Structure 1
């Protein structure tokens, strides 16, 4: 069965409302990831594949570091906006249309919760990376964001039962975000990190972003 592109139904809202509102509302996505990119991806050259590129909003900071970004996403609706920001291809991240050992860099930004088969995606990342190639995962923090985390009071985030349930949910503390519209998958922190290691990648460096509890967990791994 072909995978469903859930974001097709909300692509216009995501581009025209969610991103613009988030840019002016503290604590909402997207947050500034410039320091994360500089630290974990770093300066480089050559192609950098973004898996789940969505509307392509992360292409600019990657390009500023010297890389040549191109994006892949399942959603035609999101790619309508992305095509003006970077070269794109519509494809399933679990079956990357890219030859083995051909990419110097791959990134996945705020998408792992949208991919129920994320461990299989990581296997594909490992397959297409060159020896020594870098992979940067930037995602919602598994310990502080999810159906179990109530962030309605930004000064007192409440963590409720559910972190260990490892499930898909539309439960959300807000109706102004993405999870209540398309749902999200959750992996506890050890399972997420084990998935990277099981794909044959070596974890090298980490970062957390957000306050008072982190919103984002970022990791750099390398193909040895």
Structure 2
């Protein structure tokens, strides 16, 4: 069987053309992450926006918490598969959401921080479309120990290279395997931990809980829970004395 093509067409969504292949390889990560994500979300009701829902692999996880998932993604190919799992999906950009203010009780960003070019804009859109007091959960790549700056070694150790502070799309890293997801979608966006957390705070979301799920000796996943808090001002960096 031939490998699926690499998507080098800048006019298309990065996952168009490889949606079925990606759905297959992502199943294992979904199973491994399901319990931790369920715990992070906790029980709830109402509409849950699944940002960058891809093929809809996490719809059932969201449903089991009592919520109704509403998926949004830019890839028409991925949404074609997502519609087999739910009728409630919309094509759109997470940084320019096609929804009205105060629409959702919950929003979830699952494995998307490395795929969006402006996480700050995504955070602002989350805050805009969440109802006051609404819950936002982030579950994805740990910026410190998983990414283009991190080289995994056979003994389980990881080497963090100086490019950790380069917040940008990294198109290639010499330790990435051939034919993997990063090669097929043209790399990944890396955002350092401090910048990621400040993007959430600056959007007007109050971080209430941070975790490093799973039992890996060196965590590969970062998770957090935040709330839209209209009683506090948006963050603006360090205060001047």
Fold equivalence (TM over 0.5): yes
5 Å-filtered alignment, 1:59-208, equals 59-86=59-86, 87-153=88-154, 155-172=156-173, 173-182=176-185, 183-208=187-212
Distance 2:23 2:108 in 1: 21
Cα distance change, pair 75–126 in 1 and its aligned pair in 2 (3 A)? same
Q: What value does the CA root-mean-square deviation take over the aligned residues?
A: 1.8
Instruction: Indicate the residue corresponding to 2:56 in structure 1.
Output: 56
2:13 pairs with 1:9: no
Which entry has the higher C-alpha Rg, 1 or 2?
Answer: 2
Distance 2:136 2:11 in 1: 24
Cα distance change, pair 187–154 in 1 and its aligned pair in 2 (3 A)? farther
Q: Which has the larger helix fraction?
A: 1
Shift of 1:39: 2.9
Contact 1:208 1:218 in 2 (8 A): yes
Contact 1:40 1:205 in 2 (8 A): no
**Runs of at least 5 residues in structure 2 that lack an aligned partner in the other structure:** 1-9, 230-241
Count residues with an aligned counterpart: 215
Shift of 1:147: 1.2
Deviations 1:87-116 (CA, angstroms, capped at 9, x unpaired):
211011111111111210000100111000
Deviations 1:153-211 (CA, angstroms, capped at 9, x unpaired):
26122222210111211324223532222111111100000000000000000111341
Contact 1:36 1:207 in 2 (8 A): no
Aligned mate of 1:215, from 204, 207, 220: 220
Cα distance change, pair 53–193 in 1 and its aligned pair in 2 (3 A)? same
Q: Is the partner of 2:226 in helix, strand or coil? A: strand
Distance 1:174 1:119 in 2: 30
Distance 1:153 1:181 in 2: 24
TM-score normalised by the chain length of structure 1: 0.89
Distance 1:133 1:69 in 2: 15
Deviations 1:110-142 (CA, angstroms, capped at 9, x unpaired):
011100011101101000100110000111000
Cα distance change, pair 70–3 in 1 and its aligned pair in 2 (3 A)? farther
Distance 1:51 1:41 in 2: 14
TM-score normalised by the chain length of structure 2: 0.83
Contact 1:107 1:136 in 2 (8 A): yes
2:22 pairs with 1:19: no
Deviations 1:15-42 (CA, angstroms, capped at 9, x unpaired):
23x235xx2xxxxx34622333233211
Contact 1:48 1:70 in 2 (8 A): yes
5 Å-filtered alignment, 1:25-40, equals 29-30=29-30, 32-40=32-40
